[in-house]
Amino acid sequence: MTELLDWRMQFEDYKTLILTGSTPKDRMDVIRRFAARNFESMIHVNVKNNEKIREYMNTNPAGRDAYRFLEKSVMEMIMPVDTVLVLENADALEPYAFVDYAENLFNPDDMCFLIMTGEFSDEDIAPLRETCIHVVLPPKE
Q: Could you tell me which residue, 106 or 53, shows the higher pLDDT?
A: 53
Residues 19/133, Cβ–Cβ less than 8 Å = no
Residue 36 lies in a domain: yes
Could you give the CA distance from residue 137 to residue 34 in angstroms, rounded to a whole number?
14
102-129 tens-digit pLDDT: 999 988 778 889 999 999 999 999 999 9
Mean pLDDT of the chain: 91
DSSP 8-class letter at 116: E
Could you give the CA distance from residue 14 to residue 16 in angstroms, rounded to a whole number?
6
Which residues make Cβ contacts (< 8 Å) with residue 128, sequence separation at least 6?
16, 18, 99, 102, 103, 134
CATH number reported for the structural domain that contains residue 13 in this entry: 3.40.50.300
Instruction: Express as a percent the part of the chain with pLDDT over 70.
Output: 96
Domain, as residue range, for 80: 2-136
pLDDT at 9: 86
- How many domains does one find in the chain? 1
Could you give the CA distance from residue 61 to residue 27 in angstroms, rounded to a whole number?
27
pLDDT at 45 over 70: yes
Residue 141 lies in a domain: no
Residue 108 lies in a domain: yes
Which residues make Cβ contacts (< 8 Å) with residue 137, sequence separation at least 6?
19, 20, 21, 22, 26, 27, 30
pLDDT at 61 over 80: no
